[in-house]
Chain A
């Protein structure tokens, strides 16, 4: 299959994830959108790896999966801590660093 289809899929997923990061109120949904972004990048990397026959892309995708998992765990931890302090999961209410 032409690689363009995989790249388009990756782009679409990326944009959905990006929109989700920007737009969603609930930070858990934002976290999930970030995961979507990361996965979109994964698909991109694997597609190029299959097209050029270079396994480096798949290895890099594995790295990203591991990193995404760690980062999700940490992010959840931060959100739980924030939840316990502020009792909110809505992004626009988390504006402590505001001017």
Chain B
């Protein structure tokens, strides 16, 4: 097979397929039947998946150091020469696509999980209105997300970033006639936008510092002609223009992280994610479980070269990630809506990923991203299947004992719960322990990382607790389903349960990529990702991190398994063994329970601090507009015009008209004597004739005189 081959050179097709079907839905989706919509939309995602698979396999064939393929479709933004920190540079941002190990992982996750969720949606949305609209939006989302992960420069990534934000808004507010859904959509978009402002500033700073927004120039046919961030950074470091820990890198890293926090629901921008559960379940699974929320993680991993040179920013990322993980886990413990538990769980797991990125374990973060995509999507889809079976019930207090009636849902859900809790052998165990292991490893360097490790492992225990709580409340124990729904419990259709089983398989298996760490070797996943995440070699003066000993590895695993067991036992005791125990516990600590139920009153605080203040500003501006602008400006202008028109009237009447009348009266005045001649009496006219005759005679009369003398 010749290089680059069909799949790699047609990389741009991968985002294009869903875009075409989204456009088709937009133009004539209304007239299509459900089967046609299915064929278009699910088929296009399947085609994208096939192309992605082909491209990735093609890339595998290359040796590890050359696994980068870039293609530039066309130069997009060409403002010409631009002043940067390093002098004048010819800035070009192009529309191009990049495939390297990191984007391989992302594109496979996005297309595969996306395809499964599309198949699931066929069953789930079968009875809903707006079928073609849903799939159109979903495909538009796939287009944006694939643009994001395949982009070869920050600007195109940002385009995809905004696109997923937009589709998130459209899909959260899918049932737009419901006020809470519309509000949730607005909240998501607005909070996202705040993060995007930070992202944009970071992007501009990158462009100003490096003169380019392209990630790398490797993989292009002519690397010397194009420069990438990686190469420019390496140059700058090699020529000692910037140092490790330079403030410009910290600024870039922090600004980009603001954007990531907005999109990936970290503190303080996480508030939109629980509300986003107003959208249909496939939306929650795809966008808020598996793909969009991991865009921030992907972006930070992609810019790992810069982050590695900004230790302050990395610390901020790690602390925010750990805090978010713990915070969200405490909130998930008291939620009673099945989707809200999973939403807070997502926020918590994203915090884990950022914690990993923040301590420098970029590959571990991405690994957790991949395993999380599988089991979180499975959890959401499973929850959707439960809701579908119970004809819309979402409160876990009204569920129970469902594993006997809907086993096709409960068995995959069980595996997903085991995975997310970190039970040995499943994927979550490997990815979480990778992260915790790396944090502990770093702690040998700095004591403060121990705090992060403690937070991480405690959160793991909490995760196990609330996930098993969810499992027990929903599927085990006595049935608390209301009488009316009891008779209608039915298993979901095959198109919904088969994706569940496939995802369950991958939830179990995807962790085995890191199996070699059990016997002390490097995980193949990390080795695969290493070229993308290596960054720039720089002398930081720190000791290089080695792998910890096998004994340390096993004791860490034992510690986390112990905490998982504690979490399981607590959930069992409180919810299964004596079913009312948890209520009694809640009643004995009412203030704490209240605080958690109200989500630490964060929404109320935000309302008071920001939302209502902005509404006040709007009111003030509205007041200004109606009183000052309309009053002074518009009405005042009218008043002024009326004043001026009075003067105008006077001028017109007394000056202009006077002249006109004068012009009229003057000939009349002059002709007055002439009038007197017209007496109307014939005799007067006869006199004038004779007078004229006399004048004539007098004038010419001398001829007559001569003539008369000659007579005789």
> Which residues of chain B in 663-689 are interfacial with respect to chain A, using CB atoms and an 8 Å cutoff?
675-676, 678-683, 686-687
Instruction: Determine if B682 and A99 form an interchain contact, defined as CB atoms under 8 angstroms apart.
Output: no
CB of B690 closer than 8 Å to a CB of A? yes
Instruction: Determine if A98 and B678 form an interchain contact, defined as CB atoms under 8 angstroms apart.
Output: yes
On chain B, the residues within 8 Å of A91 by CB distance are 681-683
CB of B605 closer than 8 Å to a CB of A? no
CB of A95 closer than 8 Å to a CB of B? yes
On chain B, the residues within 8 Å of A30 by CB distance are 682-683, 686
On chain A, the residues within 8 Å of B690 by CB distance are 18, 21-22
Bound form: Cα–Cα A16–B678 in Å: 25
Distance between B710 CB and nearest chain A CB, rounded to angstroms: 10
CB of B708 closer than 8 Å to a CB of A? yes
Distance between A81 CB and nearest chain B CB, rounded to angstroms: 15
CB of B711 closer than 8 Å to a CB of A? yes
Secondary structure of the A contact surface, majority rule: helix
CB of B712 closer than 8 Å to a CB of A? yes
Tally the A-B contacts, defined by beta carbons under 8 Å. 47
| Nearest-CB residue, chain B, relative to A30 | B682
Q: Mark B196-215, 1 if CB is under 8 A from A, else 0.
A: 00000000000000000000
| Nearest-CB residue, chain A, relative to B682 | A91
Instruction: Determine if A4 and B708 form an interchain contact, defined as CB atoms under 8 angstroms apart.
Output: yes
Instruction: Determine if B683 and A99 form an interchain contact, defined as CB atoms under 8 angstroms apart.
Output: no
Q: Mark B679-711, 1 if CB is under 8 A from A, else 0.
A: 111110011001000000000000000001001
> Which residues of chain B in 631-674 are interfacial with respect to chain A, using CB atoms and an 8 Å cutoff?
none
Bound form: Cα–Cα A4–B681 in Å: 36
Given that A3-B711, A99-B675 are contacting pairs, would A92 and B681 also be in contact in the complex, using a CB cutoff of 8 Å?
Answer: yes
On chain B, the residues within 8 Å of A27 by CB distance are 682
Instruction: Determine if A23 and B683 form an interchain contact, defined as CB atoms under 8 angstroms apart.
Output: yes
Bound form: Cα–Cα A96–B708 in Å: 43
| Nearest-CB residue, chain B, relative to A47 | B711
Identify the B interface with A (CB < 8 A).
Answer: 675-676, 678-683, 686-687, 690, 708, 711-712
Could you list 16 A-B pairs, sorted by A, with CB under 8 Å? A18-B686, A21-B686, A21-B690, A22-B683, A22-B686, A22-B687, A23-B683, A30-B683, A51-B711, A92-B683, A94-B681, A97-B680, A98-B678, A99-B675, A99-B678, A99-B680
9 A-B pairs closest in CB distance: A95-B680, A98-B680, A99-B675, A97-B680, A21-B686, A99-B678, A3-B711, A22-B687, A91-B683
Extra 8 A-B pairs, beta carbons < 8 Å, given A7-B708, A21-B686, A99-B679:
A3-B711, A4-B712, A18-B686, A24-B683, A30-B682, A91-B682, A95-B679, A97-B680
Identify the A interface with B (CB < 8 A).
Answer: 2-4, 7, 18, 21-24, 27, 30, 51, 91-92, 94-99
